[in-house]
Amino acid sequence: MSSSFHLLICGGGIVGKACALALARSGLDVTLLGACPAPSLPAQDYAQRIYAINAASRQWLDALRVWPQVPQDRIEPIRAMHIRADGAQLVFDTRDTQGEALAWTAESDAIEAALDLALRFERQVVIDPAQASQISRLPDASGWQVKTRDDRTLHADLLIGADGEHSLVRRVSGIAMDTHDYMQRGIVAHFHCAAPHEGIAFQTFADGGVLALLPLASLHGRHQVSLVWSAPEALAIELLALPPEALAQRVEAHLPALGARHLGPLRPTGAAAAWRLQRQLARRTAGEGLVLIGDAAHRVHPLAGQGLNLGLQDVQVLAHVLQQRAAGQAPADARLLRRYARARAEQVLALAATTDALARLYGGHSRVPAPLRALGLHATNALPPVRQLLTRYASGLPYLVS
Query: Do 31 and 154 touch, CB atoms closer than 8 A?
Result: yes
Does the footprint of ligand FAD cover residue 213 (CB under 6 A)? no
Does the footprint of ligand FAD cover residue 162 (CB under 6 A)? yes
Does the footprint of ligand FAD cover residue 116 (CB under 6 A)? no
Distance separating alpha carbons of residues 213 and 200, to the nearest angstrom: 9
Does the footprint of ligand FAD cover residue 92 (CB under 6 A)? no
Which of 275, 320, 374, 400 binds ligand FAD (CB under 6 A)? It is 275
DSSP label of 270 = S
Which of 12, 268, 331, 363 binds ligand FAD (CB under 6 A)? It is 12
User: CA Rg, the chain, in Å?
Assistant: 21
Q: 27-66 mask for ligand FAD (x: CB under 6 A)?
A: ------xx----------------xx--------------
Which residues in the 123-152 window bind ligand FAD by CB under 6 A? 131-132
Distance separating alpha carbons of residues 336 and 289, to the nearest angstrom: 10
Q: Give the helix ranges, DSSP H, for 174-275.
A: 233-240, 244-252, 255-258
C-beta of 35: minimal distance to ligand FAD in Å?
7
Distance separating alpha carbons of residues 242 and 226, to the nearest angstrom: 17
Strands laid side by side in the 76-78 sheet: 50-54, 103-107, 76-78
C-beta of 393: minimal distance to ligand FAD in Å?
14
Query: Do 175 and 137 touch, CB atoms closer than 8 A?
Result: no
Interface segment toward ligand FAD; rule CB under 6 A; list 8-16, 87-95, 315-323, 344-352? 8-16
Which of 14, 118, 216, 258 binds ligand FAD (CB under 6 A)? It is 14
> Cβ closer to ligand FAD: 129 or 376?
129
Does the footprint of ligand FAD cover residue 258 (CB under 6 A)? no
Residues 6 or more apart whose Cβ sits within 8 Å of residue 98: none
DSSP label of 220 = T
Residues that bind ligand FAD (CB under 6 A): 10-16, 33-34, 51-52, 131-132, 162-164, 168, 186, 188, 228, 275, 294-295, 302, 305-309, 311
